[in-house]
Chain A
């Protein structure tokens, strides 16, 4: 009997504390899983993480064959974090190109992100500068596309962090793994996965195209202009995407502004007569 009581008294307090801790964890867990925008961001970014897997793996492998140590290769993914520019820099490094030219080339390839973050500005919840400056580091072609095509009016900061973080982790971790084990997956799977990022772009674009002729025209004209630059080799890839995007966006804006003017003037004529 005494033992029984002592057991109860021993257990009572810790049990109460433990119970409230469990309750807190359950509450937080439920909150996080159901309506936390950070987790929703992680989910929205998952397709980027999958798409980065083969690209980062291959980058790690190529970095190794270009003579970079695992530290050097992973550091590039950690600090630069830009797919195309990293690939190009490997070629330039192994050719012994002047470092200044490598940096300049990186700038040229990545200048399009300026356009993207400028376009995102209006869509993002306003927040402290250092917070926005932090997730801005993670804006790539892919995370931009996911954020910019979100249906909600304003994107919350935790959502942006979720999207950016899962993509970034995938890129960094699989760079290191690629360096260690190489692209040791079956070749057919790696080949098939190379389509992942483009499939994601298509999956983001097509639902917005439905019943929206403006979106169709924007994408189509940019694609055609980019194709012309590609096949004539007039511009390098980075510039080509930048110019094609700007040209299409400006052209469509002018046409739709004119349409609106015509409609407005017709309406005013109608009301006059």
Chain B
């Protein structure tokens, strides 16, 4: 890769950093209209839904069953134990056993 790579990297770094930093540094303390702050409060749960589905089904390309078993396991573990680490390690464990079989 030539020097263009480093210029590309600089551009990528900037356009990634600015949306991350802008609201936290410049919008702090500004009173937002209640409608907007209500919508913002909803975002964590909505974003989790969109991040999980449908990508969780496609973690192994061409193997839908793998993603499906992972989904069921993760939800079952999350309902039984509210500990994130248990859910993560447990799901990895179940899928490891499944791919060994």
* A interface residues, how many (CB within 8 angstroms): 97
Contacts of A148 in B (CB 8 A): 43-44
> A121 CA to B38 CA in the complex, in Å?
13
Interface string of A204-226 (1 = CB under 8 A from B): 11111000001100111111111
B50 touching A226, Cβ below 8 Å: yes
B28 touching A195, Cβ below 8 Å: no
Nearest CB on A from B84, distance (A) = 4
- Answer whether residue A39 sits at the interface, using C-beta atoms and an 8 A cutoff: no
Nearest CB on A from B81, distance (A) = 9
Nearest CB on A from B37, distance (A) = 7
Residue of B nearest to A139 (CB): B20
Residue of A nearest to B81 (CB): A203
A110 touching B54, Cβ below 8 Å: no
* B interface residues, how many (CB within 8 angstroms): 74
B47 touching A223, Cβ below 8 Å: no
Residue from B55, B73, B77 having most chain A Cβ neighbours under 10 A: B55
Nearest CB on A from B46, distance (A) = 4
> A260 CA to B42 CA in the complex, in Å?
16
> A222 CA to B55 CA in the complex, in Å?
13
Contact (A225, B88) CB under 8 Å given A199-B70, A253-B39: no
Query: Which residues of B come within 8 Å of A, CB atoms?
Result: 1, 4-13, 15-17, 19-25, 27-29, 35, 37-56, 59-60, 66-67, 70-71, 73-75, 77-79, 82-93, 95-96, 98-100
Query: Which residues of A come within 8 Å of B, CB atoms?
Result: 46-47, 50-51, 67-69, 72, 75-76, 79-82, 85, 89, 93, 99-100, 102-104, 106-107, 110-122, 124, 126, 129, 132-133, 136-137, 139, 141, 144-145, 148-149, 187-189, 191-196, 198-208, 214-215, 218-227, 230-231, 237, 240-241, 244-246, 248-250, 252-253, 256-257
